[in-house]
Structure 1
Amino acid sequence: MKMIAVGDNVTDCYIDQNRYYPGGNAVNVAVNCKRNGFDEVAYIGVFGNDENALHIKWALDQEHVSYTRCRTVLAPSGKPGVQLNAEGDRVFIAGEKNTAQHIVRLRLTPDDLAYIQGFDICHTSCFSSIEPELSKMNQHCQISFDFSENTKHEYLNTVCPFIRFAFFSGSHMSNEQAYELMDTCHRLGTEIVGITQGKKGAIFSCNGKRFFQGIKNTHVVDTMGAGDSFIAGFLTRFVQSGNMDEALDFAAECAAKTCTFYGGFGYPHPMKI
């Protein structure tokens, strides 16, 4: 099994710890897919040219995630601030707007697309400014897409026709709202739609058939990256087995495990004062 993630990379800066951790939706999903059992995992994104970018690359090396087709630009890495509340939920503090991914949008070349074609699945997200490339990407690989909380119809119309898997964060949604969103995505061409709802678990739909998954009890230290771990767990087991129930159960286990440590997948680094 082979997967590739295309999109964002950042260093999440924990203010109270004076440490940063490698992260970003695409990077988190890539690393967790490799940990979960994908034989080969790669990442394509835009790196800055600072110490933070070097640390992200170092962490990817430790996890055996290839980044040979990444770009590097003369700009800082994304450095969102993070604070944790008493329950371990992360609260983001907006970072600078002059980062590598703010000033450069990833454009895929024919060689990039040929490379992507060698993978079973490609994951990306609304954080990656990749929407103009989706119509080309889906001709080479099935696509998984994390919408986060982006549910506007105009945005769904732009993305859903080109993807197989859609993931949403919807702790604020009622079941009726979740069903309506799922049905809309199906009408636009997306086969599998999942909505994670925090402590309420997750609701998924495969071509209109509903699936429900509860959470796994665990000692929560930090919820950073739990949703990304859920996505990676689901993709890994679903590609292996094709079974929705097995994939969702494994995804919940992966999310629970990520809540037991700091950062999206670990590797703290001291912040310079």
Structure 2
Amino acid sequence: MKLITIGDNVTDCYLSDGLYYPGGQAVNVAVNAKRDGAEKVNYLGIFGDDDRAEYIRACLEREGVTTLRCRKVYAPTAQPGVRIGPGGERIFVRGPRDSCQHLFALSLVSEDYEIIRSYDVCHTTNEAHIETQLPALSAEIPVSFDFSTRNDDAYLRAVCPFLTYAFFSGSGLRDEEVSGLIEKVLALGPRIVGVTRGEQGSVFSDGKKSYRHEAQKVKATDTMGAGDAFIAAFLTRYTDNGDMETSLDFAADRAAYACTVNGGFGYPHKNV
């Protein structure tokens, strides 16, 4: 399996510990996919010009994730604050504005597509801000998209027709709301739709069958990146074997493990 991810890179600043961790949805998925056995993984995004950006890039290199075609701009890396609540639940605190993630959006060009075509799947997110480029992207490669908690009708209609995989975070949704969301999204085009629900497990559908999968029980210390770990594991396994049940088993296992690791995937750094 060969995966390319497009999106943000940040440093999650743990306010009570005086530490930051490399992160960002697309970065987390890239690292986890490589750890899960993907043959080749590339991250494509916009780096700042500070030491934090260099640290994120060094961590990616150490994990075997390449950064071909990434951009570098004169702006700081995003620094969202994080507090850990009961059960390891992460609570975000707004960080400084005017970071490279706030000021710049990636514009894909022909040289990017030459790289993108060599992968099996492209995963991106609502934080990548490339929605208007999804028609061209989906013409080149199957696209996986993490909506997080965003599921308003206008956004779904704009994005879903260009997706193969659609992922949502739905821990606050009732059972009937999850079922209705999946049915609505499937009708708009994606082949597979999944809703992760934290301790309540996940609900997936391939349009033919619905799959309800329990979460693995674990003593969570930090839930940061658990959803990204789930997505990475699912895409890695499903792309290789096409079996929903075993892919969901693997994804639940990797998400549970992520809840025992601080940060999106480790690598603490003193926050100065």
Show structure 1 runs of 4+ deviating over 3 A.
Answer: none
2:102 maps to 1:82: no
What's the counterpart of residue 151 of structure 1? 151
Deviations 1:136-172 (A, max 9, x none): 1101110110000111010001110001000001111
Q: Report the residue type matching 1:48 in the other structure.
A: G
Q: Can you list the C-alpha shifts for 1:210-239, whole angstroms capped at 9, x where unaligned?
A: 001101111211000000000001101101
Work out the number of aligned pairs and report it.
272
Name the structure 1 match of 2:70.
70
Equivalent position amino acid for 1:113 in 2:
Y
Instruction: Spell out the pairing of 1:110-259 with structure 2 (5 A cutoff).
Output: 110-259=110-259
- TM-aligned CA deviation for residue 186 of structure 1: 1.1
Question: What RMSD in Å do the two structures reach over aligned CA positions?
Answer: 0.8
Asked whether the 8 Å contact 1:114–1:140 carries over to 2, the reply is: no
The structure-2 alpha-carbon separation of the partners of 1:183 and 1:208, relative to structure 1 and needing over 3 Å to count, comes to: farther
Deviations 1:175-201 (A, max 9, x none): 211111111111111110000111110
2:61 is matched with which residue? Answer: 61
Q: Distance in 1 between matches of 2:96 and 2:124?
A: 22
Instruction: Please tell me the residue identity of whatever aligns with 2:146.
Output: D
Amino acid at match of 1:204: F
**Deviation of the 1:208 alpha carbon:** 4.1
* Identity across matched positions, percent: 46
Residues 183 and 208, structure 1, Cα contact 8 Å, conserved in 2 = no
CA distance in 1, matches of 2:121, 2:22: 23
2:29 matched to which residue of 1?
29
* Whole-Å separation in 1 of the counterparts to 2:32 and 2:150: 23
Does the alignment pair 1:39 with 2:5? no
Q: What amino acid is the match of 2:44?
A: I
Matched, 1:266 2:266: yes
Question: Structure 2: any 5+ residue segments left out of the alignment?
Answer: none
Match for 1:266: what amino acid?
A: G
AA matched with 2:132: P
Could you tell me how far apart the structure 1 residues matched to 2:15 and 2:194 are? 32
Contact 1:186 1:208 in 2 (8 A): no
2:103 aligned with 1:103, yes or no? yes
Give 3-state SS (helix, strand or coil) of 1:87's partner.
Answer: helix
